[in-house]
Each structure stands twice: as C-alpha cells, then as structure tokens.
C-alpha cells in the first residue's frame, strides 16, 4: 500500500491557539518575516508593516506560534535596517508606530506572538549619539570605541581587526582618531562599559515591551563586549574564524552580565517575554552559556543550518546540540534558512532533488525536540534566485569589494639587506567607498554557505528611505524621518584609488578588487583577509501569493527585486489544497506536531535526555529516532531503502510503500510514524 505525502484533511483551516503555558517558547515554531519582501500594501514595491498585517491569516493557518520581524526602525538603510538611527520609531518606508501597534494587536488576536529585532552592538552613523561624537561634543565619544591610531603619525588602525565585511574594522575621522565598526563603517560599535549605553537599551526594550511585543531577537548578541586592550589577532581572514575559534571581539564572557540583566527585565513583564540570541561561539558548550536559566531563552543553532546532507554529520550535530542545551536546562533551536543564507532547496542541490531533500529536512527539523524557526517562503519550497541581473542586485557587498588591511611593517631583519619595499615612506589609509551600493553588513557563516545581513541601496533600484527619492513616506506623528536635520558629518575618507571600480565577481562567487588600482607601498595587502560574497539577494526576492505573473500578489505594483516568471506554481494560492504541495506538507506537519504524543510539549524524561528521544538501529544512510508515541525516519540515500516498518506512516515528504511489516523509503525522504 502506498501512503501519499500529505492529506488535505490534515491541513484544513487552522485555528491557532497558542499555549497559555509559561514555557510556550520551548517548543514554539517561529516564522521569520523579512519585512521588505513579505507583502507590500502601498504599491512602492517594498514590503511594509501593513502588508505583514494583511497576511497574518496565512501564518495562523500555517500553524506557527510566533512571528519574528526584521528591523523596521528609522534607519538610513545602509544595512537593511540593522543600522538604527532611532530605536523607538518606525521608518516611514515601513509605516509608522500606529502600524506597529495594530500589527501586534492583530497578531495576538490570531494567537500569534510577535518578536522584534534589537540591534545593541552598534548604531547608525546617523544616530544622534554618533553625530555628537563626530561634532566633538564633550564625552560623546565615550559611548563608542574611539582610539588613537598606531604608527608615527597615528595613520594606521589601532589594531589588526577586520570588518566582517572585509577590510579594516576601523575608520579614521577628521581629527585623526579612529572608531571601531565590526561591520560596515556606517555602523559604529558602542562601548558597553559606558552606563548611558546600558540605560538607553533598557529604555528601548521597555518601550517595545510596553507596546506589547513578546520578545526580542538580539542581533550580534555575542559582540557587545570586547577583550580588554583590544589585542591584535595576528592573522587575516578573521570572518572565517567566527564560530570556530576564540576572537577578542566576539563571545567575551562580559556579554553574559548584559544578558542576565535583560533576563531580569524580561521577567518583570507578564508573558513570559523572551530573548533570542543571534550568537556565534566556538563550540556548542560556549553557545549554551547564552541560554542558562538566568540568561536568554533561546539561541540560534547555526550548526544545524550549515550541516551537510550527510546522516553521520546530521546525527552528530543533533546530539551535540541537545547535549549542550540539556546541560543548562534550555531547549535547542533548529533552523534551515534565513534572510542571510542561500535557501536550503538550492543548498541541497536545487531542482527536484534539492526540493526533495528540503522537504525531508523540514520534517526532520520539525520532529526534533525544541523550537524551530521557519524563514518566509520555505513553506512554499522556494529556491534561491540565482540569475538576478547585476543591475537589480541590492546587496551592498556586491558593489563594495574588498580592501587591503593596513598593517605595520615587520621590523627589518638586521642580518638581511633591505629591499626596495623597506624604504617606502609613510602612506595613507586605504580609500573607503561611500556610494550607496557600498553599504551593508555581512554575517559570518562557516562552511560553504556565506551569511550576510544587507540592505538596499537607493541607486540599485527602488527607494530605501525618505532621502532615496522614491514614494513619499507617510507622516509619522511627532517625529522626523531622521533624528536630526541637516547634512551628516562624514568621517574623513582617504584619497580615492586611481580609477576605482567595483569588485569583480569571481568564478567561485566571491568578490575581489579588480587589478590596476594599485596600493600604497606601506600597506600589507592580506589576500586572505576576506569578507563576504555579496550575493544574498537571491533569498530575499519577494514572496509569490497568487496570480500567473509577477508580482504574484506581493503588492499593487512591482517588487524591489524581480521575481522569476516561473513562480506562478509556487504561490500560496496555487499550492493551497494540493495534497502533494510543499505548503500543505508544512501545514500538515505543524498540525500533527501539536497533536501527536511526543511532539509539541514532550514529556520530561531523565536529566540526560528530557525529550525522551532515542536513536534506533537503521541501515547505512538512514536515520531513525523515536520519541514517546512517535518515530521518524530520514533516508539520505539517492536510492530507496527497505527496513522493518517502525509503525504506521502518518506523514511523509514523498509517497512510501508499506505492507505493515516492511517499508520502502523513497530516496531523500522523511517519514513520521505512530504505533
């Protein structure tokens, strides 16, 4: 007998009733909304808060528990909103505070909780604090990390730290001092030893908690504290070390005092309200420190996201993740895609094979104990859009290119004859691009999948704010679009390179500066000092909702990134009611996740394994685990495999054949079983 992959009856209109338990977050399914690409309400081609509100019924029917919104605060959009100029106001690009309030109320009425981003590691260069710092106001620079440079004239950066984006993590200002920016120059790092910084973010959190949000996703939760003395690292390619080796600017022990204080603040509100760490640490044990009982509630599990399609690797990551979080009494989180990485349909090979693996991986993820994060569009099986024309790309890293790292020359060996390079005189700080396309902040991503956060530059098509010359912004009561009027004091830029040109894409998809620009002879150009590839637009293409041609119901007009002509069959409307569609598979899985014993809120077991999950013997290439009243099989092989049936199949990513005693698992498939 063949069991079909889904059943319409399992995915009927779903009334989401979020659990009233104080532990709702331990097994929640949280849906990430990339606001600018979810739904457009006003026809400017950019998603907004009203658009999100109009599509909340889709998320309720899907069966998720909460919605995580990417930044919508007042921002120059140098990094997709992760460069915040006013933490208490909505950027007119996305609406106003009334829209935010109405969205939260509408979500709660549907049983959905709302999580918003907070960006505490850095501000925008247009934040009033940084404007004051550049203007020389007494004490203003103490809120940031300003330092004198090295070298005879202070014309070299204070240390060898690299921006995650590539190039030095320091920019020099007019009076000769340098400021630290672990990400883009438009995002100066705050100094969290300053009491005003602590007090300001306590106030920001309370502002949004009072508005009714249910928690925060904490951007760069591992980065607010730097090692004392800001010591050199002594090697390049530092972005590739994040999450694998200790670094003096990430995962310092001091960040935990901040998170403990925030936990006390969150616990003072009814809810509970939760904190979710976007944290990179060298090990699962270090990551688990962020979710100790008196710290944050969850931390993203990027090791699962970057795991290859390999059963041994998957089992190792699952075991390691569960062990680390169990040791501190916290739930594990699972995620396959987000707005910073290539969609997992494409990562798993693309085409029908990639989709089959992506569907199977989704069922595996949703069967594991803990909380799961879904990225918008993965429930539709959307692939990465890999053929966007260069003119449409708005990932700032695509235009920026990489810069040499200015480093002091080593002392000459007295036993050798100096070469011509040893006689070079003092040089200049490398030039910094300031065009809109040069803006953005990438994200570290170990392994073959690069991760980055980026924003849209106004010259790349479509407006990104009131200064972009696009659709007029809606007024925001009692607030200006920017914290101050007038021109922004710009940091001192070095002389431009001769005939500067954008970086050229390489065969491996990376960006390297084109030859011919030259460089000052006193700069050690470290070719291994790489940033990110700047090709993340493909996972941010706006969603298809309905219709036979773009914009597929995304909004009244076009979309800020072009949608493929082949997406009509992937829209929400086209997949609804089709028992074989990816959308109905997700709907059925989320409904069953609440209904089946062992899923949802698992029974507590022994201290070593509170989920009651057990691995069982299985053929090579197959994973089989059980939870109370439930079993899950994953066949990672490219061919079918037979084994004793672990029960009755209730949901599968592909049709399975069973006679009740044995089962033939399709290639690249996952199946759920009950006794």
Q: Which residues have a catalytic role annotated? A: 219, 278
**630 vs 641: CA distance, rounded Å:** 20
Q: What are phi and psi of 26, to 5 degrees?
A: -70, -30
* Tokens coding 169: 């993590």
Burial per residue of 97-117, b for 16 or more beta-carbon CB atoms within 10 angstroms, e otherwise: bebbeebbebbeebbbbbbbb
Strand 215-218 to 274-277 pairing: parallel
Q: What is the DSSP letter of 622?
A: E
Helix axes 582-595, 351-367, angle to 10 degrees: 10
**Of how many residues is the chain composed?**
675
**534 vs 165: CA distance, rounded Å:** 9
Q: Are 213 and 116 in contact (CB under 8 A)?
A: yes
CB neighbours of residue 390 within 10 Å: 10
Burial class (CB in 10 A: 0-12, 13-18, 19+), 14: middle
Q: Which residues pair with 452 in a beta bridge?
A: 442
CA angle 540, 475, 554 (to 5 degrees): 30
**609 vs 323: CA distance, rounded Å:** 8
Strand 29-33 to 86-90 pairing: unpaired
End-to-end CA gap in the chain: 17
């Amino acid at each position: 007998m063949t069991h079909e992959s889904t059943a319409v009856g399992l995915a009927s209109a779903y009334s989401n009733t979020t659990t009233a338990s104080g532990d709702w977050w331990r097994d929640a399914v949280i849906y990430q909304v990339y606001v600018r690409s979810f739904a457009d309400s006003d026809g400017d081609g950019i998603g907004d808060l009203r658009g999100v509100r109009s599509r909340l019924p889709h998320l309720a029917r899907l069966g998720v528990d909460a919605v995580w919104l990417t930044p919508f605060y007042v921002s120059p959009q140098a990094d997709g909103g992760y460069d915040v100029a006013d933490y208490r106001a909505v950027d007119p690009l996305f609406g106003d505070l009334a829209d935010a309030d109405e969205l939260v109320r509408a979500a709660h009425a549907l049983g959905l909780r709302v999580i918003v981003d907070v960006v505490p590691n850095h501000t925008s260069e247009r934040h009033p604090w940084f404007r004051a710092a550049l203007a020389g106001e007494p004490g203003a620079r103490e809120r940031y990390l300003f330092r004198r440079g090295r070298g005879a004239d202070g014309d070299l950066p204070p240390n060898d730290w690299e921006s995650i984006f590539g190039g030095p993590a320091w920019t020099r200002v007019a009076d000769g001092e340098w400021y630290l920016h672990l990400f883009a120059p438009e995002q100066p790092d705050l100094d969290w030893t300053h009491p005003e910084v602590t007090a300001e973010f306590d106030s920001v959190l309370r502002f949004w908690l009072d508005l009714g949000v249910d928690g925060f996703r904490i951007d760069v939760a591992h980065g607010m504290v730097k090692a004392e003395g800001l010591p050199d690292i002594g090697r390049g390619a530092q972005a590739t070390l994040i999450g694998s080796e200790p670094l003096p600017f990430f995962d310092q022990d001091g960040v935990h005092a901040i998170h403990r204080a925030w936990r006390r603040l969150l616990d003072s509100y009814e809810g509970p309200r939760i904190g979710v760490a976007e944290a990179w640490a060298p090990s699962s044990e270090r990551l688990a420190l962020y979710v100790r009982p008196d710290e944050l509630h969850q931390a993203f599990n990027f090791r699962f996201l970057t795991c290859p399609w390999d059963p041994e690797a998957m089992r190792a990551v699952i075991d390691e993740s569960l062990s680390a979080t169990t040791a501190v009494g916290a739930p594990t989180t699972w995620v396959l895609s987000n707005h910073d990485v290539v969609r997992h349909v494409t990562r798993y090979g693309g085409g029908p094979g990639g989709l089959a693996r992506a569907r199977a991986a989704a069922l595996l993820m949703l069967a594991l104990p803990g909380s799961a994060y879904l990225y918008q569009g993965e429930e539709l099986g959307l692939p990465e859009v890999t053929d966007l024309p260069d003119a449409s790309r708005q990932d700032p890293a695509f235009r920026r290119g990489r810069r040499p790292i200015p480093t002091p020359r080593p002392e000459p060996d007295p036993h050798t004859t100096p070469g011509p390079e040893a006689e070079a005189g003092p040089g200049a700080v490398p030039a910094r691009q300031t065009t809109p396309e040069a803006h953005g902040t990438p994200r570290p991503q170990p392994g073959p999948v690069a991760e980055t956060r980026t924003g849209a530059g106004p010259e790349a098509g479509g407006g990104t704010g009131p200064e972009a010359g696009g659709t007029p912004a809606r007024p925001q009561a009692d607030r200006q679009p920017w914290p101050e009027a007038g021109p922004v004091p710009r940091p001192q830029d070095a002389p431009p390179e001769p005939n500067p040109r954008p970086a050229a894409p390489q065969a491996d998809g990376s960006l390297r500066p084109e030859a011919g620009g030259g460089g000052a002879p006193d700069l050690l150009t470290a070719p291994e000092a790489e940033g990110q590839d700047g090709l993340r637009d493909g996972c941010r293409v706006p969603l298809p909702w309905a219709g036979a041609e773009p914009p597929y119901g995304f909004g009244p007009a076009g979309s800020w990134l072009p949608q493929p002509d082949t997406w009509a069959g992937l829209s929400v409307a086209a997949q609804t009611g089709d028992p074989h569609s990816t959308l109905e598979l997700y709907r059925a899985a989320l409904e069953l996740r609440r209904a089946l014993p062992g899923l949802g809120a698992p029974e507590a077991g022994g201290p070593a394994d509170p989920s009651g999950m057990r691995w069982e013997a299985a053929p090579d290439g197959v994973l089989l685990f059980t939870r109370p009243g439930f079993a899950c099989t994953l066949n990672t092989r490219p061919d079918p495999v037979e084994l004793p049936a672990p029960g009755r199949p209730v949901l599968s990513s592909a049709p399975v054949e069973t006679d009740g005693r044995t089962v033939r698992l399709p290639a690249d498939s996952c199946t759920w079983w009950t006794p």
